[in-house]
Structure 1
Amino acid sequence: MNEPPLKDPAQSKPVSNGSPTPSAVPSQPPSTAPSPVLQPNVANNTSVSGGLISLPGSGVATPSAVPQQEKKTFGSRLTRMFSQSGAKAKEAEKARAALAEAEASSRSSKEKDRNTAAEKRPEIIKKSSDSSVPTVSGKSKSGLASGGAALVRFSMNEDGTHEHHLRSAKRQEKLSDMIRDLMGGGKKRDENAPERDGLSLMSSWVDQLRSEKDKLASDKKAGANSSATLVEKYGKCQEIIGRGAFGIVRISHKADPNNHGHEQLYAVKEFKRRPTESHRKYHKRLTSEFCISSSLRHPNVIHTLDLLQDAKGDYCEVMEFCAGGDLYSLVLAAGKLDVAEADCYFKQLMRGVEYMHEMGVAHRDLKPENLLLTTHGSLKITDFGNGECFRMAWESEPHMTGGLCGSGPYIAPEEYTEKEFDPRAVDVWATGVIYMAMRTGRHLWRVAKRDEDEFFEKYLEGRKDEDGYAPIENLRRARCRNVIYSILDPNPTRRITAAQVLKSEWGREIKVCKAGEEGSH
């Protein structure tokens, strides 16, 4: 049975305000190759699946393995859903065979002529492959390239602790360079290539970065784009680091009065009024978001500092700046995260969610794009544009809520019903989807509706089956699997809470990095 074309879940149009609204695109058709073994350290020829990047080899069977004719399982079908197409798989196998032949040829001709292209090719391949490895475990040096030391994203220490080392996302030129690298180093692509659609979000993003860079230059020529108060308090707004449906986020630079030659950096979110939005609704929307975010003080929640107007009359929200970018970009670049790395971010996320719920606030739009990182691995929840207070300080019982809110596969199944539900359970559901995205680099379904998504239907069936649901069963530790199943319980009244996740055996044994414990940059 042919799989239906899927829209990119992370890039699907959000239901609510404040979230990005890129055009949805269909994913590639399913591969006919057997269930793959991910090879995240292979360089070049990356492809995007389900909104998150899937590195090569993810849909190609190992040439030496002969697939047996057997009944296809759901696990293999699910994996093939996010794999490369059959044509791409055949091309990849041919390419590998050609490279192997070229390598053998180069070795035989090495003594005859050391300056031939055949001799150089294996060295280039080896160099490219070695330099792509993003993590280090123990004493291994897998983050080293042949030309010198490369940035190691994640490392395990001998005492069992770990460290994160993320690249700074301060400059938009660096961000656009990363996007171009992911798209193939700026090489010309075939317009009819299947992966083109999967990259349409990134290609449009690059175009926007170019146009916004030009706009930034014109703003500088025209004069200050902010009021004197904003400039005096927080400096000049410069690089664009994020965008939503009705606003952008820039970095504001201010000279540090206590440290000559250094800058203080802030993130400034510029609220734009919707075309059909009245001034009254505009003020209510932005003040509601500011009231919620500014009242929360926790190491894993973004610190909101101020709300003021710029010279055009638009309101700007000033927040702390996280130079490590967002979790979506990290998973996109890495393919998938190391177990300890994903666990660390997950525990920080659950701590932030537990705190919000204790304060009577539900986020209602948790997703990797709304989770910011510092360069040393501290995670902070941001964007409370869809947040709501479900319990006031003087109340003991929470208010139920209703309505559809959020983005793509992170929306809980009860949100599609006409019944009221507990918004806390919605947040918890999203954390489970986020964790699986970190561990697999994929989305498990497009939409959590049995009658619209056969893969979500298979998940519901897998919960009843003794063998379970393959992607979750592939998680090594039983304690982890049990918690994820409890988080992704389709019945919100049975769903585990954030506090219960942290008190579980798995939650207690997860080790958080030093920056995550301190909430430092």
Structure 2
Amino acid sequence: MPHCFLPFLQRPRKHSASLTRAGDINLDEESHRLLSTEGLTLRDSVPSPRGKFSSTGIGKYNTPKKDRFVRTSGGHKHYLSPPRPRRHFCGSNDSEELSGRNKLFNSFKSQWMEGKQQEETSLAGWPIENRDMEAITQRYGEIQMVAGYGSYALVLISHKVRNWGPQLDRYYAIKIFRHASAQTESDYYRRATSEFSITSSLHHQNIIEAFEILPLGYDSLCVCMEYCSGGDLHALTVSSRRLLEDEADCFLKQLLCGILYIHEMGIAHRDLKPENLLLTNYGRLKISDFGHAECFRLAWEDQVHMSTRRCGSVPYVSPEQYLAQPFDPRYADIWAAAIVYIAMRAGRNPWKSATVKDECFRDYTEDCKAGSQYFLIRDITHVRLSLSFHHLGG
């Protein structure tokens, strides 16, 4: 296998064995996108999500008055607002997604209003006690809309306003964990509490912040997180078709800073993809959704524990995860970061899966064996960063 995708993302050489599926392993192939989260105050002067995520129709990226990416004498500035995704890198049925989102939003809205006069209400098929929902709205404000949903969770946006004492005008994301069809109660609690435990222990400018985990009636749990007003990296890339080089470089640098931090904390994310990379309106990137994260080293340990678990979204899964041998989970995150960068610059994924069954990936490996560079990577490689890396002794 080759060393790396890009000159500045070095990966140790792996054995060049044939790529085969390694047993019966859980692999999340869903392309769901959950728009979680950055806390906002009046001082932030950030656009409200109202009107940005309408319950009907698919709009283009909401272009702010200023250009989205502005170069300045001292660097650059970002001006982002929430987008409406139109399509997925690997293809998706927008009409079905929109229909499902509309039904979910309308169902939630009507049932929540009915629940104010009833003993309990139901949200997207989950029975939720009215008193629990009231406790959440008192703490984090009224629910505004359904921001996203997938196999494992539903994300709502709430808005809290306080005009007395210290004034407050803030948006939150409420992530409700779903009960999978074949999931036991203990597995449900383990997944939800494990994700919250990991996320709440991480404190970094490029990591999403989780405030608290709360019961939501009938053995359901939800987590309150900060709300990111700039949407996610996937929607930004799709709406823009591809990102400018400097813009993509900025997001990659932030992503690598976040990855470096969680790796120093002994955590591998294991599901890095544009949908899980959230943005503030000023271009701060935050890694979210630690549902597949794993601890590869405890605080008192020096040794890295290898992994045998394949997980994540297929286009971003590294090839060694298909081999029947242990691998370092940190390198899986670095591989995913490289694919994310390609997606930002090219506006598409280089392949559907990193296996010999995929024609594009086979072309990539053949080019590497021949000593040449895969065309998609060659077209987006930075000459100046390659030279800089060379001068640094890379």
* TM-score band w.r.t. shorter chain: 0.7 to 0.9
Choose between structure 1 and 2: higher helix proportion.
Answer: 1
Shift of 1:152: 1.8
Is 1:286–2:192 an aligned residue pair? yes
Q: How does 1:325-344 map to 2 (within 5 A)?
A: 325-344=231-250
**Could you say what secondary structure the match of 2:156 adopts?**
strand
Partners of 2:385 and 2:316 in 1: CA distance: 19
Higher alpha-carbon deviation: 303-312 or 253-262: 253-262
Is 1:153–2:45 an aligned residue pair? no
Matching residue within 271, 274, 284 for 1:368: 274
Shift of 1:229: 2.8
1:432 partner letter: A
2:111 partner letter: D
Shift of 1:16: 3.9
Matching residue within 212, 235, 240 for 1:306: 212
Q: How does 1:403-482 map to 2 (within 5 A)?
A: 403-450=309-356, 452-475=357-380, 477-478=382-383, 480=385
**Could you say what secondary structure the match of 1:251 adopts?**
strand
**Could you say what secondary structure the match of 2:159 adopts?**
strand
**8 Å Cα contact 1:227-1:309 kept in structure 2:** no
Structure 1 pair 155/390, CA: closer, same or farther in 2 (3 Å)?
same
**Could you say what secondary structure the match of 2:334 adopts?**
helix
Structure 1 pair 133/320, CA: closer, same or farther in 2 (3 Å)?
closer
Partners of 1:482 and 1:363 in 2: CA distance: 30
**Could you say what secondary structure the match of 1:474 adopts?**
helix
Structure 1: gaps spanning 5 or more residues: 1-13, 23-131, 135-142, 144-148, 170-174, 184-196, 484-503, 508-521
Aligned residues: 328
Is 1:243–2:158 an aligned residue pair? no
**8 Å Cα contact 1:270-1:316 kept in structure 2:** yes
Partners of 2:170 and 2:257 in 1: CA distance: 27
Structure 1 pair 200/421, CA: closer, same or farther in 2 (3 Å)?
closer
Structure 2: gaps spanning 5 or more residues: 1-24, 34-59, 117-129
Matching residue within 209, 219, 222 for 2:114: 222
Q: Deviations over 1:480-507 (max 9, x none)?
A: 4589xxxxxxxxxxxxxxxxxxxx5799
Q: Deviations over 1:203-251 (max 9, x none)?
A: 2111112212211221332135543432222122331112221221011
Q: How does 1:47-66 map to 2 (within 5 A)?
A: none
Matching residue within 45, 65, 79 for 1:165: 79
TM-score of the superposed pair, with normalisation by structure 1: 0.58
Higher relative contact order (CA 8 A, sep 6+): 2
Partners of 2:235 and 2:365 in 1: CA distance: 30
**Could you say what secondary structure the match of 1:276 adopts?**
coil
Partners of 2:208 and 2:90 in 1: CA distance: 31
Structure 1 pair 376/445, CA: closer, same or farther in 2 (3 Å)?
same
Q: What is the aligned-residue RMSD (CA, Å)?
A: 3.0
Percent of aligned pairs with the same amino acid: 38
Structure 1 pair 388/231, CA: closer, same or farther in 2 (3 Å)?
same
**8 Å Cα contact 2:61-2:236 kept in structure 1:** no
Partners of 2:144 and 2:227 in 1: CA distance: 13
TM-score of the superposed pair, with normalisation by structure 2: 0.76
Task: Specify the alignment match of 2:54 in structure 1.
Answer: none
